[in-house]
């Protein structure tokens, strides 16, 4: 109750280090100054639809749209009447140009000495052959196809092939269980599953086909399974249902004309698990999604033909869709893809890859950056990282400590950092610096991208004051927004459009500072209410991590008779530090000094690792359960490593 009445979130963070864009970088950038950004932004804000039309015009359309936007809240249709094809825009367009023999994908397998380069012409051939193979299995425009694969070029071929013929793909992260596959495949009634015998992870082989086999038992709509031979592990092939990739593409034509699809044709469904309930099938469509992925790739990453762009996300996440499989290719760029783990065979694998391939742009997650920081400077220091010119982060608030480390150790104090805020639902980057234009401050995603109108509001829709925390909202439709939740439009309305009148509710707490910069304070569900003060998790965690001894931290609220909620912190120490009562006191004092005694944790549990989702987000929900009831009964299907929870339970028991 009180939770709902009080609608603002208090901010306690204070960060004032400003990094101006490097002059030389700015000179060569697509967007060269803050003035230029503001001019484009302001013009777009006056007429977002006209702005997005001008972006969409730089793509290929078989037929032009007659109406740029049809908006019946909460449903948007963009570029109505227009016909286009995502795969055509990512591939065919470049074949008429000097890019025909340019590398589209440079791939490195986890086992060493395994490198493949796929040019745009080769990409075309592979995608067409595979598209024809799908057709030969009876896949038609509008059918759903599941992709459950390791990070290999064929995963991108498969996505592009679906896009080419108008089949709607749903990529399921290769680490998910048979149950997770079953739920997703059945929810959207897939006709085909594309998988591999196995995939490499940290030197071991994950038996993907075997997992698919047990899922398919309970997937009545699946007619065929296509299996890429990747790891060479033994698999059983069911006659009539299962087909080897190499056999089914053999002899297929390398021409497969791209379908002329309606702009609103469903391109993909990507399942995202919220904090509660079953996964939501987020639906993205063709023309609008492509427009968003294309222009954000170009401006946020300042993509040039000479770049080697490495987004480390798996294609199982939205980041791997927009910034591996689609956005960069729509720009004719070279993307680097790596199959395996960052610590195999050693903790320097990423830096080894950057050095050998002369990677120029690196886009990764705060959770990875905190792990690198914890492993130590010696690993990046073994390598020449001077090819890097731009760094990016996504997925969680990046604490200033990790930002500064990324800047100094990986970026050689030379590279701009783009901290990009967006969601599976938004399809493309929403709040972000433009690297040649926006002065950055560690910990903030800065300003909205042109054409994106955001606000911080309370429950009634009133805009927050400067530095007053509230709910992050998006107030105007934009092309790459989700269209609905597959099969559950009611849930779409309820989840995103009923919390605050007439705007999109992102579910994040945020504040806007005096520069107009946006600071994400964490998920609204995670807000802690201490004596009537609502505190976001990000700031307290950031204060903890700013102490030398701390590698990573998560805070949650647990019921407290006096204060309403008390702050329970879970802390992972850097290797050389040991948990102790003194350390607990030191850290509590540190937080009090950094951001005030209101935010001081009431108790600290030291732990070797935090429970995370497979995409690297800390699962505060589990920690909250643990801190509240001493056990975890909720859904743990997205948990990355179960042993972490076991250990934590033991620790808690030990303390009690
Ligand atoms: C949620 C969306 C978007 C691709 C990866 C995650 C958090 C994302 C940032 C950032 C602070 C961030 C938000 C958001 N988030 N980027 N730069 N700063 N928080 O996609 O799994 O749909 O998660 O991730 O809480 O709502 P997702």
Ligand 1 centre and the CA of 576: distance in Å? 31
Name which residue leads in pLDDT, 539 or 253: 253
Q: Which residues contact 90 (CB under 8 A, 6 or more apart)?
A: 160, 163, 326, 329, 330
Nearest atom, ligand 1, residue 520 CA = 11
Ligand 1 centre and the CA of 537: distance in Å? 14
Q: At what angle do helices 642-655 and 620-629 cross, to 10 degrees?
A: 30
Nearest atom, ligand 1, residue 398 CA = 18
Our measurement of the distance from residue 62's CA atom to the centroid of its chain's CA atoms, rounded to an integer in Å, reads 31
Q: Identify the residue whose C-alpha is closest to ligand 1 atom 24.
A: 395
pLDDT tens digit sequence for 263-285: 999 999 999 976 556 899 999 99
| pLDDT of 477 over the 60 cut | yes
pLDDT at 613: 86
Q: Note whether 565 and 599 are within 8 A (CB).
A: no
Nearest atom, ligand 1, residue 506 CA = 26
Mean pLDDT of the region 42-66: 98
Structure tokens at 582: 């003194």
| pLDDT of 98 over the 90 cut | yes
Q: Which of 527, 2, 622 is nearest to 276 (CA)?
A: 622
Nearest atom, ligand 1, residue 426 CA = 3
Nearest atom, ligand 1, residue 422 CA = 3
Q: What residues line ligand 1, using a CB cutoff of 6 Å?
A: 272, 318-319, 394-397, 419-424, 445, 506-508, 520, 523, 615
Q: What percent of the chain has pLDDT over 70?
A: 97
pLDDT at 564: 83
pLDDT at 654: 43
| pLDDT of 9 over the 80 cut | no
Separation between Cα atoms, residue 311 and residue 335, nearest integer Å = 8
What distances in angstroms separate CA 352 from CA 115, 359, 364, 372, 386, one per listed residue?
13, 10, 16, 13, 12
| pLDDT of 653 over the 60 cut | no
Q: Exposed, middle or buried by CB within 10 Å (0-12, 13-18, 19+), for 263?
A: buried
Mean pLDDT of the region 621-625: 91
pLDDT at 274: 62
Mutate to test the pocket of ligand 1, among 289, 364, 370, 422 (most ligand atoms within 8 A of CB): 422
Structure tokens at 376: 């130590």
Ligand 1 centre and the CA of 512: distance in Å? 17
Mutate to test the pocket of ligand 1, among 324, 395, 403 (most ligand atoms within 8 A of CB): 395
Query: Quick one: DSSP state of residue 257?
Result: P
Ligand 1 centre and the CA of 507: distance in Å? 10
Q: Before 135, cis peptide (omega within 30)?
A: no
pLDDT tens digit sequence for 490-532: 999 999 999 999 999 999 999 999 999 999 999 998 989 888 7
| pLDDT of 652 over the 80 cut | no
pLDDT at 225: 98
pLDDT at 634: 73
Domains and CATH numbers, the chain: 23-452+464-509 (3.40.50.12780), 527-655 (3.30.300.30)
Q: Under DSSP, is residue 260 helix (H, G, I), strand (E, B) or coil?
A: coil
Separation between Cα atoms, residue 335 and residue 324, nearest integer Å = 7
Could you give the count of Cα atoms lying within 13 Å of 470 in the half-sphere of its Cβ?
25
Handedness of CA 291, 294, 297, 298 (dihedral sign): negative
pLDDT at 651: 62
Token pair 């969680």 in the structure block, residue? 396
Separation between Cα atoms, residue 5 and residue 552, nearest integer Å = 32
Q: pTM, whole model, 2 decimals? A: 0.93
| pLDDT of 576 over the 50 cut | yes
Token pair 């050389």 in the structure block, residue? 576
Q: Which residues contact 300 (CB under 8 A, 6 or more apart)?
A: 392, 418, 420, 429, 432, 433, 434, 435, 449
Mean pLDDT of the region 447-452: 98
Phi first, then psi, for residue 590 (nearest 5°) are -60, -45
Model confidence at 533, pLDDT cuts 50, 70, 90, reads: confident
Q: Exposed, middle or buried by CB within 10 Å (0-12, 13-18, 19+), for 461?
A: middle
């Amino acid at each position: 109750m009180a939770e709902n009445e009080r609608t603002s979130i208090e901010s306690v963070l204070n960060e004032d280090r400003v990094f101006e864009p490097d002059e030389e970088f700015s000179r060569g950038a697509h967007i060269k100054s803050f003035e230029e950004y503001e001019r484009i932004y302001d013009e777009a804000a006056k007429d977002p639809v006209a702005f997005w039309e001008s972006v969409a015009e730089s793509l290929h359309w078989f037929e032009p749209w007659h109406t740029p936007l049809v908006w019946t809240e909460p449903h948007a249709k963009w570029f109505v009447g227009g016909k286009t094809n995502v795969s055509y825009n990512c591939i065919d367009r470049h074949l008429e140009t000097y890019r025909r023999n340019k590398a589209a994908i440079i791939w490195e397998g986890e086992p060493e000495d395994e490198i493949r380069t796929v040019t745009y012409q080769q990409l075309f051939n592979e995608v067409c052959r595979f598209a024809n193979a799908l057709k030969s299995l009876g896949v038609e425009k509008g059918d759903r196809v599941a992709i459950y694969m390791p990070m290999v070029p064929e995963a991108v071929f498969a996505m592009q092939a679906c896009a080419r013929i108008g089949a709607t793909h749903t990529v399921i992260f290769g680490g998910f269980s048979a149950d997770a596959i079953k739920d997703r495949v059945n929810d959207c009634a897939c006709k085909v599953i594309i998988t591999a015998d196995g995939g490499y992870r940290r030197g071991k082989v994950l038996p993907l086909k075997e997992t698919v086999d047990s899922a398919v038992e309970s997937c009545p709509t699946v007619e065929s399974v296509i299996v890429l031979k990747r790891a060479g592990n033994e698999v059983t092939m069911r006659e009539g249902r299962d087909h080897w990739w190499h056999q089914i593409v053999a002899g297929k034509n390398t021409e497969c004309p791209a379908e002329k699809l309606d702009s609103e044709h469903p391109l993909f469904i990507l399942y995202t698990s919220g904090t509660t309930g079953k996964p939501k099938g987020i639906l993205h469509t063709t023309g609008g999604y492509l427009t968003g992925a294309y222009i954000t790739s170009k401006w946020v990453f300042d993509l040039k033909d000479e770049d080697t762009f490495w987004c480390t996300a798996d294609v199982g996440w939205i980041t791997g869709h927009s910034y591996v499989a689609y956005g960069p290719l729509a720009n004719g760029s070279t993307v680097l893809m790596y199959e395996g783990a960052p610590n195999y065979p050693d903790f320097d694998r990423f830096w080894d890859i950057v050095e050998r391939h002369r990677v120029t742009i690196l886009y990764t997650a705060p959770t990875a950056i905190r792990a690198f920081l914890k492993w130590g400077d010696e690993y990046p220091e073994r390598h020449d990282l001077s090819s890097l010119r731009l760094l990016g982060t996504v997925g969680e608030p990046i604490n200033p400590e990790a930002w500064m480390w990324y800047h100094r150790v990986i970026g050689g104090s030379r590279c701009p950092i783009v901290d990009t805020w967006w969601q599976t639902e938004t399809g493309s980057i929403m709040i972000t610096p433009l690297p040649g234009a926006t002065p950055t401050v560690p910990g903030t995603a800065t300003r909205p991208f042109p054409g994106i109108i955001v606000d911080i509001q309370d429950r009634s829709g009133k805009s927050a004051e400067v530095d007053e925390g509230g709910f992050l909202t998006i107030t105007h439709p934009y092309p790459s927004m989700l269209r609905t939740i597959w099969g559950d439009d009611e849930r779409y309305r309820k989840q995103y459009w009923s919390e605050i009148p007439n705007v999109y509710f992102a579910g994040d707490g945020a504040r806007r500072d005096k520069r107009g910069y946006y600071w994400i304070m964490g998920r609204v569900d995670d807000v802690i209410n201490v004596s009537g003060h609502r505190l976001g998790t990000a700031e307290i965690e950031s204060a903890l991590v700013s102490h030398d001894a701390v590698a990573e931290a998560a805070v949650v609220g647990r019921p407290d008779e006096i204060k309403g909620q008390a702050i329970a912190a879970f802390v992972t120490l850097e290797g050389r530090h040991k948990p102790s009562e003194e350390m607990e006191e030191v850290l509590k004092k540190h937080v009090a000094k950094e951001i005030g005694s209101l935010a001081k944790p009431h108790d600290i549990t030291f732990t070797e690792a935090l429970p995370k989702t497979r995409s690297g987000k800390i699962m505060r929900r589990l920690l909250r359960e643990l801190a509240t009831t001493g056990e975890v009964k909720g859904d743990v299907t997205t948990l990355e490593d179960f042993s972490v929870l076991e250990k934590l339970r033991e620790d808690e028991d030990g303390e009690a």
